[in-house]
Amino acid sequence: MITTKPTTIDEYIASFPEDVQKKLVQIRQTIRQAAPEAEETISYAIPTFKLKGRYLVYFAGHKNHIGFYPAPTGSEAFKEELAVYKTGKGSVQFPLNQPLPFDLITRIVKFRVKENLAIADKKKKTKA
């Protein structure tokens, strides 16, 4: 596990055991494919994707699960599909002993992309 704060997603992932690293790399690739224009960063000491200057999704490795944080809107919009997982306000836990739901993650990320682009477009129109 992490003892110092990582400065890159690669550093963050490298700090985990190999089996967890594999899942973290897979979730990272899934997010990249769903949001190719998103920027990768570390925020709150965990991997974060931003789009148009706004947070899109976070993810994090834990002892028994991968945490995925699509903000309350992403969790709420997919509430029924996420019901099989432990969830909280704006978070979902994917157990390490189960396959990651890549299709669901992709759809949530694309949903968040649309939200971020709509907000950016609205701000752009307000300034004009």
CA–CA separation, 1 and 107 (whole Å)? 29
Q: What is the pLDDT of residues 32-58, one digit of tens each?
A: 999 999 999 999 999 999 998 899 999
Of the pLDDT bands very low, low, confident and very high (cuts 50, 70, 90), residue 92 is very high
From the list 67, 88, 59, the residue with the least C-alpha distance to 76 is: 88
**Looking only at Cα atoms, what is the longest distance across the chain?**
51
Query: Which domains does the chain possess?
Result: 9-127 (3.90.1150.200)
pTM for the model: 0.90
Annotate 19-60 with three-state secondary structure. Answer: HHHHHHHHHHHHHHHHCCCCEEEEECCEEEEEECCEEEEEEE
Q: What percentage of the chain exceeds 70 in pLDDT?
A: 92
